[in-house]
Amino acid sequence: MTVRVRFAPSPTGYLHIGGLRTALYDYLFAKQKGGKYILRIEDTDRTRYVEDAIENLLSAMEWSGVIHDEGPFLEEGKIVQKGEYGPYVQSERLHIYREHIEKLLESGHAYYCFCSKERLDKVREEQKARGETTRYDGHCRNIPLEEARKRVENGEAHVVRLRLPENRDATFEDAVRGTVTMNTSELDDQVLIKADGFPTYHFAVVVDDHHMGITHIIRGEEWLSSTPKHIILYEAFGWDVPKFVHLPNILNKEKKKLSKRHGDVAVGDFRKKGYLPEALVNYIALVGWSPEGNEEIMTMDEMIEKFSFDRVSKSGGVFDIDKLNWVNSHYIKKADLDRLTNLCIPYLIEDGLIAEEEKDLKFDWVKRIVKTAQERIEYLAQISDYAKRFFGEEVKLESEEVKEVLNQEHVKDLLNIFKEKVMNAEEINDEFGKKVFKMIQKETGIKGKNLYMPIRAALTGQLHGPDIDQVIVILGRENLIKRIEYVEKNYI
């Protein structure tokens, strides 16, 4: 059996972190088994459809590196569908659903329902008052099909419902939760076709998964209670039932389901802040799953090799931003410097530190700043605040301790000597940055902390930070002189 899995989001907004994890688990499982990972767009809820949501979704998936084998793709700004099981957008498959709902109506597994919203609301209120589970009361179950068809032809508003068998246990094996059994008495005669003629999720998902050859359905635990209804639909059509995998929710630190109210949850939010895709994917994989060796840093190929649903937790995984930052900082430290620089430049432009037209001219200079930042930032949006220390002539002292260092007896002469070396240097380059301290030590006998700390304090206002020889090169001759003079005037 060739494994075929699918990720089937609705275009109702951004790609949520939970959605990315589901897609990732689909991808890892399919690649490990030599199968196919399909992307399908479930856009039958037209009331919640968001313009450009599909394009944004495809862009986020491409950025993350979780790339599907079949489905819609973005090519030169246009959506193109690829694969032999299309269309992969549900609103383009309405003729298929119409054909299949007719089969269910003819076989008696579905029926027309003409109940108004007012009647349904009243029934639910009465059930609540009696302490019962709210569910459809079957008012239209026994209307003969021919009579129902005439009412439909006369323009009467209607939906089509699934006729659930009464008091029947539906049992299935879930790869995460084991054996699950639910009785149909706890379930509702689910609407399959809505009043607008569009299928509900519960109907379309079964038809599409069958026709696209899906072997394993991997989705969030919120769909667990719906699975018996889906199984009954498979049986009504005489189709093989796929295997089910229901993933635990992603939780916030308060152990509640992660939502927009709790901060950034969209993949786009993390992309905008400058999280590297490989870091986000690495971390998200571990929110609910752990490899046998409990490794924390893994490439995509390593995750494919190690992934198993046996190691997916039944309980929700906690999304810890501090842990994500740790993982991301690891990837920043290991990242190619040119790539990081290109990713950092837009933040510097946005914050007015460099101009758009000078980004190429200043690339190598920014690259030096980024190199010193690699060990110190957790996500790339932090580059602007970090880089500000290299702009301008003003020096702000970080603490009283810095002032004490600058007020040492030898510092005034030391800074004058340093300033003289800067003024007389042929070029302020890496060679100068490394040699200037040796020259001053040889001339004055000042060494160690007494040499390095006052110069660092005068140039940055801090006692600790990036390599001082790199700071010197980044600041350049003019700023070095102006900063020394500023410190002499204001602090010494």
As annotated, the active-site residues are 260
Tally Cβ neighbours within 10 Å of residue 96.
16
20-23 long-range contacts, CB within 8 A, separation 24+: 20/60, 20/64, 20/66, 20/267, 20/280, 20/281, 20/284, 21/247, 21/250, 21/284, 21/285, 21/287, 21/288, 22/218, 22/219, 22/220, 22/247, 23/61, 23/64, 23/66
Tally Cβ neighbours within 10 Å of residue 322.
8
DSSP string covering 31-65, please? HHTT-EEEE-B----GGG--TTHHHHHHHHHHHHT
Written as six digits, the tokens of 353 are 């530190």
CA atoms of 162 and 111, how far apart (whole Å) = 7
- What phi, psi does 247 have (nearest 5°)? -85, 145
Nearest to 112 by CA among 77, 153, 143: 143
- What phi, psi does 344 have (nearest 5°)? -80, -30
